[in-house]
């Protein structure tokens, strides 16, 4: 079958992809004043951030601060010390603007810079409606040997990427659009420049596989070990077009 106007047909085919431009859902490096101050608490009031909102449990509030001692983007980063209940946890509500958070079914890319002190453990989790879907873990032991690994379908991936203490690394997690029980996501690790990949790209099913269709709701950052401090910086969550990303599509 021949089309009389081939250029017009091509434009109509490409138009939906063009309209689905990448959108920022969360993007914080703790450097803007306000809402951040030196060695101060996280601002949790609605409308203070460009996108989304911080949330923190009361028992974790005193263990989270915007430190000036070390940062990837100067002058501040987020330090999570050991909390009273064994875990310090902060969460980000995702939103297209400062008016409010919302969920999305579009493909996502999560990027988090992390720096670990000895005897510390960091967790990066992306939540859906009924539980967390993506799970990456960074561990630094007392002997200063550390690694980053991903978890799929309740199981730790066999690949452990070796890391050093007091060194910045980016964890990147790619999630597919229209997430469901059969969806897979992938995890990469980069050096502090954000472009030099370390180790292999790993992929697998969601950590908690939903019973059916779901949506992405919020990102959570944890510090897990006694005595150790985890530093986070340059946290971003963006939508991506499926054709522009390399994540597995299911």
Task: Out of 2.30.30.230, 3.40.50.2000, 3.40.50.720, 2.60.120.200, select the CATH number for domain 22-244.
Answer: 2.60.120.200
Residue extents of the structural domains in the chain? 22-244
Q: How many CB atoms lie within 10 A of CB 234?
A: 21
- Nearest-CA neighbor of 213 among 161, 250, 241? 250
Q: One digit per residue, pLDDT tens: the chain, 250 residues?
A: 554 555 544 444 444 544 567 899 999 999 999 999 999 999 999 889 988 899 998 888 889 999 999 999 999 999 998 755 668 899 999 986 555 568 999 999 999 999 999 889 999 999 999 899 999 999 999 888 999 999 999 999 999 999 999 999 999 999 999 999 999 999 999 999 999 999 999 999 999 999 999 999 999 999 986 668 999 999 999 999 865 555 444 5
Contact 217, 103 (CB under 8 A): yes
Contact 119, 140 (CB under 8 A): yes
pLDDT at 17 (0 to 100) = 46
pLDDT at 98 (0 to 100) = 52
As a whole number of angstroms, the distance between CA 21 and CA 85 comes to: 41
Contact 235, 208 (CB under 8 A): no
pLDDT at 46 (0 to 100) = 86
Query: What pTM value is reported for the model?
Result: 0.88
pLDDT at 20 (0 to 100) = 63
């Amino acid at each position: 079958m021949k089309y009389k106007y081939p250029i017009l047909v091509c434009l109509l085919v490409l138009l939906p992809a063009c309209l689905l431009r990448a959108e920022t859902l969360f993007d914080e490096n703790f450097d803007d004043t306000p809402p951040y101050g030196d060695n101060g608490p996280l601002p949790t009031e609605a409308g203070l951030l460009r996108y989304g909102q911080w949330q923190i449990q009361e028992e974790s509030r005193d263990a989270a601060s915007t430190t000036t001692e070390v940062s990837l983007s100067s002058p501040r980063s987020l330090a999570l010390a050991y909390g009273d209940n064994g875990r310090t946890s902060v969460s980000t509500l995702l939103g297209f603007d400062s008016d409010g958070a919302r969920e999305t079914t579009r493909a996502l890319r999560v990027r988090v810079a992390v720096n670990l002190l000895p005897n510390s453990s960091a967790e990066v989790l992306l939540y859906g409606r009924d539980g967390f879907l993506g799970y990456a873990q960074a561990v630094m032991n007392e002997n200063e040997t550390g690694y980053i690994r991903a978890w799929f379908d309740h199981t730790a991936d066999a690949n452990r990427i070796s890391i050093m203490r007091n060194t910045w690394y980016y964890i990147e997690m790619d999630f597919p659009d229209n997430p469901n029980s059969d969806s897979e996501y992938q995890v990469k690790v980069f050096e502090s420049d954000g472009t030099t990949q370390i180790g292999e790209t790993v992929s697998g099913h969601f950590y908690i596989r939903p019973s059916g269709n779901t949506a992405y709701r919020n990102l959570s950052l944890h510090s897990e070990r006694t005595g150790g401090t985890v530093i986070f910086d340059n946290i971003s969550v963006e939508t991506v077009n499926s054709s522009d990303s390399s994540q597995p599509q299911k």
